[in-house]
Amino acid sequence: MIPVSNILRLRVAEVIEETADAHSIVFDLTPEQRAALAYRPGQFLTLRVPSEQCGSVARCYSLSSSPFTGDAPQVTVKRTDGGYASHWICDNVRPGSEIEVLAPSGVFSPASLDTDLLLVAAGSGITPVMSIVKSALAQGSGQVVLVYANRDERSVIFGHDLRALAEKHPDRLTLIHWLESVQGLPSTEQLRTLLRPFTGHEAFVCGPPPFMTAATTALKALDVPRSRIRREKFVSLGGNPFETATITPAKEDTGSAGGHEEQPATVRVELDGERHELAWPRRSKLLDLLLERGLDAPFSCREGQCSACACRITSGEVKMLHNEVLEAEDIDEGIVLACQSVPLTDEVSVSYE
Are domains 4-102 and 260-351 of this chain identical in fold? no
What pLDDT shows up at residue 239?
Answer: 61
Q: Give domain limits for the chain.
A: 4-102, 117-232, 260-351
Q: What is the pLDDT of residues 157-186, one digit of tens each?
A: 999 999 999 999 999 999 999 999 999 999
> Of the ranges 24-28, 161-165, 200-204, 241-245, which one carries the lowest mean pLDDT score?
241-245
Q: Does the pLDDT of residue 250 top 60, yes or no?
A: no
Give the C-alpha separation, 213 to 81, whole Å.
21
CATH number of 117-232: 3.40.50.80
Q: How many percent of the chain have pLDDT more than 90?
A: 71
Runs of H (alpha helix) within the chain: 31-36, 84-92, 126-139, 159-168, 180-183, 188-195, 209-221, 286-292, 328-332
Pick the more confident residue, 186 or 103: 186
Confidence of residue 4 (pLDDT cuts 50, 70, 90): very low
Would you say domain 4-102 falls under CATH 2.40.170.20? no
Taking the model in full, what pTM does it have? 0.82
**Number of C-alpha atoms within 13 angstroms, CB side, residue 252?**
6
| Averaged pLDDT score across all residues of the chain | 89
1 in Cβ contact with 81 (< 8 Å): no
Average pLDDT estimate for 216-222: 96
Domain range 260-351, its CATH number among 3.40.640.10, 3.40.50.620, 3.10.20.30, 3.50.30.50: 3.10.20.30
